[in-house]
Structure 1
């Protein structure tokens, strides 16, 4: 069940006012998707970055009125309804808590945390402050994902027998993937997407057994990994991730009565094949070029946040606290099995 905010937060938002913490690649894509037509329901009030010059360049790109040389200023701007955190993961927990305590609602990029315990800390602050918080697992907000959930829950696939997917993308030369303290290893960055698909398909059920293996760079960052999750009745999820090569990043869900094929990239799909036929959803085109595949789909996530705030909800029904907890429980076990460094 989704928790609700007190009635003073239940209002009809004509335009949702955003503050942006970060001026990097993903923030570019989020804001571009946010402002994709029709763009009369979202407004970017301000952006904060490590330097004023960096924030100003970002603001000029999108016509944002205010640029701040710190995250604090963006997070406390009185005209902001909700803050999007698009920084590298090592900043997510601290900044999420800080912004929630400042009385703002928060959408924080995944992974919010390195472990379940860290995520629970943020969750508790959100509850104590009675503010909306969502981990930005944007896949769940795509219309295709919603349709897949409906198909599974309807029983049309029968009993789920197998989930197979991989997220393999070349980023080995990116500096933030070379330092464990930045929280940018393959499991938390890419593997989390494969895990979220498995937890969705198996309805947050705790696996009976998890096996996992990973390989590491000279600096100790996990680069490749493979996980097998075994559920009751013999259902399995085989999940692969890599930061070393570009793979075919599709996914297949097998049931006793049929299968679903999610076209690549499975985490941001434009199409999928169901037993009833092919389904598609639009990938909105924003004012600035995107850096990552199908980033226009971030608009679905932003619209979901607006819907939640209008309804007075503390959580998003597509990515509830329970959903994130189920994901981190698996991440914690994979970390234990493989020895992945989670010092951030």
Structure 2
């Protein structure tokens, strides 16, 4: 039985805990919050064995094998390092950290301590994403020439929200822009050229970010993230023989539409288990049982290349934290 701990008990943590109960061989051992009442309520709702009023107590629980970190972006590095130094494996929400240097330190520490570490980028494990990869490997739509993907909605303007507050790593790029970027890197590799523009708020976070990328094989990606308007939230892959559309919301879609040139489109349904987090939990469980320190699907290299790209875009749009 793989025993999990959770620190940072917001909305995503609730979804993760719900799905954890759906995965055989996994159990929620303990949860931690700075607010003991919140921790107690969360533990009761999700049948956790223990609850604590500090993250450090979760990391010190001898029963726990791995800790899921769902705190705001700016705390990912600090929380991950604390858990690793306490001898715990870690699955940390995206973005993995705030910059490449932090990610490099986290990964090196995991290697030095022989502990499993993975960025919790759930899109990588969603059945529809795996199906798209399979279709590409089968050359279903031929050579990919372009990816167009966007993620946008009208976000809160509350200056204390983690989405808006600069001190909490706010902005569309790290919160939702990471998804169209990730799907492009996953399918096309690391970009060889990237050009970005953004609309910054008065507080210095990006409200809107547009990116154009070129890849080694000549393919391009046109990507967008925004807190200012609702976009289609789809990802479209254009190939020499046709088109694949990952329907909204593409980052955890359950429907793909395939359109081969000159033929009628057809739909592929790929249902998720629970909220969609069960698939990454299953991967984590299997990696721990196998004694791995990284996932083949969401490897250290994957996280490093993703953060390199995010850092480059931030430098181009003058987004600093």
With structure 2 as the length reference, what TM-score do the two structures score? 0.94
Among candidates 187, 193, 211, match of residue 227 of structure 1: 211
**Whole-Å separation in 2 of the counterparts to 1:279 and 1:75:** 42
- The 3-state SS of whatever aligns with 2:252 is coil
Contact 2:126 / 2:272 at 8 angstroms: preserved in 1? no
**Whole-Å separation in 2 of the counterparts to 1:87 and 1:177:** 13
Aligned to 1:300: 279
Shift of 1:338: 0.4
User: CA 1:252 to 1:66, structure 2 compared with 1: closer, same or farther past 3 Å?
Assistant: same
Aligned to 2:263: none
Aligned to 1:248: 232
Aligned to 2:110: 126
**Whole-Å separation in 2 of the counterparts to 1:120 and 1:154:** 34
Tell whether 2:303 aligns with 1:320.
no
> For 1:158-197, what aligned pairs fall within 5 Å after superposition?
158-174=142-158, 175-197=161-183
Higher relative contact order (CA 8 A, sep 6+): 1
Tell whether 2:130 aligns with 1:141.
no
- The 3-state SS of whatever aligns with 2:277 is helix
Aligned to 2:289: 310
Aligned to 1:282: 271
User: CA 1:284 to 1:208, structure 2 compared with 1: closer, same or farther past 3 Å?
Assistant: closer
Aligned to 2:137: 153
**Whole-Å separation in 2 of the counterparts to 1:16 and 1:246:** 39
**Whole-Å separation in 2 of the counterparts to 1:259 and 1:269:** 16
Among candidates 196, 199, 213, match of residue 212 of structure 1: 196
User: CA 1:171 to 1:44, structure 2 compared with 1: closer, same or farther past 3 Å?
Assistant: same
**Whole-Å separation in 2 of the counterparts to 1:100 and 1:179:** 28
**Whole-Å separation in 2 of the counterparts to 1:49 and 1:169:** 29
Contact 2:100 / 2:311 at 8 angstroms: preserved in 1? yes
Shift of 1:275: 5.1
Once the two structures are superposed, residues 34-92 of structure 1 have per-residue CA deviations (whole angstroms, 9 ceiling, x without a partner) of 123xx542210110001211111111212222110000111221111110000001110
Structure 2 gap segments, 5+ residues each: 261-265
**Whole-Å separation in 1 of the counterparts to 2:200 and 2:99:** 19
Structure 1 gap segments, 5+ residues each: 1-14, 286-295
**Whole-Å separation in 1 of the counterparts to 2:140 and 2:106:** 37
Once the two structures are superposed, residues 117-158 of structure 1 have per-residue CA deviations (whole angstroms, 9 ceiling, x without a partner) of 221111111111110000011000012211211222333332
User: CA 1:232 to 1:40, structure 2 compared with 1: closer, same or farther past 3 Å?
Assistant: closer
Counting matched residue pairs gives 314
**Whole-Å separation in 2 of the counterparts to 1:154 and 1:105:** 35
- The 3-state SS of whatever aligns with 1:232 is coil
- The 3-state SS of whatever aligns with 2:27 is strand
Tell whether 2:252 aligns with 1:268.
yes
> For 1:37-48, what aligned pairs fall within 5 Å after superposition?
39-48=23-32
Contact 2:90 / 2:118 at 8 angstroms: preserved in 1? yes
Shift of 1:264: 0.8
Aligned to 1:95: 79
Contact 2:127 / 2:272 at 8 angstroms: preserved in 1? no
With structure 1 as the length reference, what TM-score do the two structures score? 0.88
**Whole-Å separation in 1 of the counterparts to 2:4 and 2:225:** 32
**Whole-Å separation in 2 of the counterparts to 1:282 and 1:155:** 23
**Whole-Å separation in 2 of the counterparts to 1:220 and 1:184:** 9
- Aligned Cα RMSD in Å? 1.5
